[in-house]
Amino acid sequence: MKNDATPAPNFIKNIVIDDIKTKKNDAQVRTRFPPEPNGYLHIGHAKSICLNFGIAAEFGGSCNLRFDDSNPVKEDIEYVESIKEDVHWLGFEWARLHHASDYFEQLYDYAIELIKQGKAYIESLSAEQIRTYRGTLKEPGKESPYRNRSVEENLDLFQRMRAGEFPDGSHVLRAKIDMASPNLNMRDPIIYRIRHASHHQTGDQWCIYPMYDYTHCLSDAIEGITHSLCTLEFEDHRPLYDWIVDELNTACHPQQIEFARLELEYTVMSKRKLQQLVEQGLVQGWDDPRMLSISGLRRRGYTPGSIRDFSDRIGVTKKDSVIQMSVLENSIREDLNHRATRVLAVLNPLRVVIENYPQDQVEEIEAINHPNRPELGTRKLPFSRELYIERDDFMEAPPKKFFRLALGREVRLRYAYYITCTQVIKDEQGKIVELKCRYDPATKGGSSPDGRKVKGTLHWVSAAQAIDAEIHLYDRLFKIPNPGAEGDFIQHLNPDSLKILNHGKLEPGLGSADVNTYYQFERQGYFCLDSKDSRQDALVFNRTVTLRDSWAKIEKAHAHRRR
Ligand code: ATP
Ligand code: MG
């Protein structure tokens, strides 16, 4: 699908290629995608999924799905299930499914080992005290009075922590590294804390839980991960990652490699912020089609292939950058241009009566399902005296460049006939309610034997056979490119991000539309059936994306005006 000849940069792939060449890790490649099950996955996670699974697939390796579930309070089984569904839907199969919580016993044993080596101690200062003792970037930290407890005392206290003898917050286990390190992460980081909380996998088996930094590197090592790929904010954590794995002398020492997170314009990209939108009812749920969650994109009509293609296009680098929304939209447009069945659908109907067309006649008009894919065949559309056209396709006082229908003007109805508008009917408020037209029977199929040309071609549906539908038009969820960076992001929500049209009229075949089919409503955009709210007797269609990038035009116009 990608027609750009130069592949996007991917420095991690180059590292892997070198490692294979030098037979590092016996030329094996094992990666993992390690989400914390505390929310639904978003398009940023898709970048990490495509990278981890993609590298494993390309180099004959394997990729695990591992739930980094060491924080029971924020996690939930609902998220575990949704993450599995999303990874599968994106088209990937994990070699093994793991939970960091599977390793709790092993992690505990490793902690005992650190204590025995004199490399970890029980801290009994309060959280507040720990913070002050830690120092700042400019000042070294201060050693805790508990730092030099004996191994025996540490072992005893740690075992009693596990046994549930102490309340939350009374003690923690800390790695004994260097309180003067310029890297704050190395100033005796906490590696275990007491949490009397039930865990979605281990229930009430534990009341002490390992911290993320400690859990992550050891889980990687236990699984024999060769390349541990993570985002740039973990760069400063790498020395700690290496320290833990070195001190415990694990059989495998994974290499942590950091890359830039995906940031996209006009959205927020953190589970916490997306959760806030859901909890405050500002969107319908995690799968609201305006959300850039994987489930939202799926419901919006994005294909898995388009998301994988997007992730290839943006590449993998160490430099933070913000990707324009048009890159994502172009990926789906290209895919749907190839994939989507063309249909006629009127979003905002205006009734047309063809006065010289026989009263009860219905004829069948042949229509093409895809302009570039003849193998997709044709279909028959009913044509009759009463039709609907798009309200915007008629103007009473048309400006110069308006080539569609106007009083006295002739246009083509797609696949059908030329029609000329002869009369405009209005209601008492002056609103146009109907157009009277005449058709030329000689123009069947859309051309005139006398060579007469028309400038406009309109889509239409036959009124009697049309299927009613509600149409949802989506726009960007936020008004500004970087809502996360400027004050409270909620205030930047775009109030017009969802427009509901209640009176859509569709060609009859769409009555049996299914959620797995992608459509192009000719001249309108790409649409799909809404997988949640659509019912057989009340169809709902979502606009996935417009046919062209209308924002590019708007932005260009703004730039022009500013000059
Ligand atoms: P969030 O801040 O949205 O909660 P997270 O990084 O805390 O994201 P995790 O569940 O820990 O979410 O992420 C799983 C994996 O996905 C991690 O390896 C993480 O680095 C990666 N990831 C998360 N967000 C992005 C992003 N925007 N771009 C690329 N990778 C990401
Ligand atoms: Mg996280």
Given 441, 465, 489, the domain boundary residue is 465
Query: Is 7's pLDDT higher than 80?
Result: no
C-beta 62 within 6 A of ligand 1: no
Catalytic residue check, 30? no
> How large is the average pLDDT for residues 361-382?
97
User: What pLDDT is recorded for position 549?
Assistant: 80
Q: Are 263 and 320 in contact (CB under 8 A)?
A: yes
Instruction: Tell me the per-residue pLDDT of 60-118, one tens digit each, with 9 for 90 and over.
Output: 999 999 999 999 988 899 999 999 999 999 999 999 999 999 999 999 999 999 999 99
402 and 461 part of one domain: yes
Least confident of 6-10, 180-184, 274-278: 6-10
Instruction: Give the Å distance between the CA of 536 and the centre of ligand 1.
Output: 38
Tell me, yes or no, whether 3 lies in a domain: no
C-beta 270 within 6 A of ligand 1: yes
Instruction: Output the furthest CA–CA distance in the chain (Å, rounded).
Output: 103
Tell me, yes or no, whether 1 lies in a domain: no
Tell me, yes or no, whether 384 lies in a domain: yes
> How large is the average pLDDT for residues 149-176?
98
Q: HSE (CB half, 13 Å, CA atoms) of 363?
A: 13
> Whose C-alpha lies nearest to ligand 1, atom 26?
44
C-beta 269 within 6 A of ligand 1: yes
183 and 228 part of one domain: yes
Tell me, yes or no, whether 248 lies in a domain: yes
Probe target for ligand 1 pocket from 40, 42, 48, 268, with the most ligand atoms within 8 Å of CB: 48
Total structural domains within the chain: 3
Tell me, yes or no, whether 539 lies in a domain: yes
Contacts (Cβ under 8 Å, ≥6 apart) of 560: none
Which of the four pLDDT bands, split at 50, 70 and 90, describes residue 2? very low
Catalytic residue check, 261? yes
Tell me, yes or no, whether 319 lies in a domain: yes
389 and 538 part of one domain: no
Q: To the nearest whole number, what is the mean pLDDT of the chain? A: 95
Task: Check 24, 134, 142, 261 and give the catalytic one.
Answer: 261
Name the percent of the chain lying above pLDDT 90.
93
Given 259, 288, 321, the domain boundary residue is 259
Instruction: Tell me the per-residue pLDDT of 459-500, one tens digit each, with 9 for 90 and over.
Output: 999 999 999 999 999 999 999 999 988 889 999 999 999 999
Catalytic residue check, 233? no
User: What pLDDT is recorded for position 553?
Assistant: 60
Query: Is 555's pLDDT higher than 80?
Result: no
Cα–Cα distance, 270 to 304 (Å, whole number)? 21
> How large is the average pLDDT for residues 237-256?
97
207 and 295 part of one domain: no
User: What pLDDT is recorded for position 552?
Assistant: 62
Cα–Cα distance, 490 to 101 (Å, whole number)? 35
Closest among 301, 290, 287, 273 to 325, alpha carbons compared: 290
CATH code of 112's domain:
3.40.50.620
Rounded to whole angstroms, what are the CA distances from 456 to 269, 420, 473, 523? 43, 11, 24, 12
45 and 171 part of one domain: yes
Residue type, 24: K
Give the domain extent around 238: 11-259
364 and 485 part of one domain: no
Tell me, yes or no, whether 287 lies in a domain: yes
Given 211, 228, 259, the domain boundary residue is 259
C-beta 45 within 6 A of ligand 1: yes
Which of the four pLDDT bands, split at 50, 70 and 90, describes residue 1? very low
Q: Are 260 and 319 in contact (CB under 8 A)?
A: yes
User: What pLDDT is recorded for position 449?
Assistant: 95
Tell me, yes or no, whether 352 lies in a domain: yes
